[in-house]
Amino acid sequence: MVLRKKTIIILTLVLLIAAAGFVSTKYGKVIKVDNDTNQSTETGTVHNENEDDTETSSITATGYFIDVKLGRENQRTVDKQTLTEVINNANTSKEAKQKAETQLLSLVDISEKEMIIEALIKAKGFEDAVVFLSSDSANVTVKSKEVNTDTINQIKNIVCKESALPATKVMIQPKE
């Protein structure tokens, strides 16, 4: 049983490292344009004196959203594994098993709602969004320079409809 747990943990870590490598490879490269020769090359850093830091901040924001989502999913995977171990343990009492099952179902439900809300926000024209739901509040970060009252209301409507939370419990902030 201990060997199986260690194997699962090691496999999970290897998959996370592979996913981080893939994301780094896919989103970590920046195209550098040499204005004199009109040739482009891929580099790991931004070197363009003629443009402002918009490209760099866009990459940073993209990295932020990816990092937050990966971190959230990693923590959820650990939580699910722990709850599953409690449920499958023969020495666990019926009350503890029932409580763990309820928590696991709640965790899955929250994950699904967050994913749906993020997809609906992206459908409204935002490049990316990350949502954190709890039983009594929701925090939403959207990739945008700023949000106006209309977009805040649209986002709150989506969150309230999908999570059944009141609008006063929904916090929205932009991230450039």
Among the listed residues 75, 85, 155, 157, the one whose alpha carbon sits nearest the alpha carbon of residue 118: 155
- What pLDDT was estimated at residue 28? 55
The residue range of the domain holding 146 is 52-175
Q: What is the mean pLDDT of residues 3-7?
A: 72
Cα separation of 101 and 25, whole Å? 38
Question: What digits encode the pLDDT tens for the residues 19-60?
Answer: 666 666 666 544 444 444 444 444 444 444 444 444 544 555
Whole-prediction pTM: 0.64
- Same domain? 145 vs 67: yes
Phi first, then psi: what are they for 134, rounded to 5°?
-130, 180
Q: Are residues 36 and 76 in the same domain?
A: no
134, pLDDT greater than 50? yes
Q: Residues 45, 69: one domain?
A: no
Average of per-residue pLDDT across 110-136: 93
Helix H or strand E encompassing 174: strand 170-175
**What does the pLDDT read at residue 8?**
78
pLDDT at 21: 65
Residues 73-103 pLDDT 10s: 999 999 999 999 999 988 989 999 999 999 9
Q: Nearest 5°: phi and psi at 38?
A: 55, 30
pLDDT on residue 25: 63
We report the CATH number of the domain holding residue 128 as 1.10.287.4300
What percentage of the chain exceeds 90 in pLDDT?
A: 49
Same domain, 56 and 26: no
Mean pLDDT of the chain: 79
- CA angle in degrees (0–180, nearest 5) for 167-171-173: 135
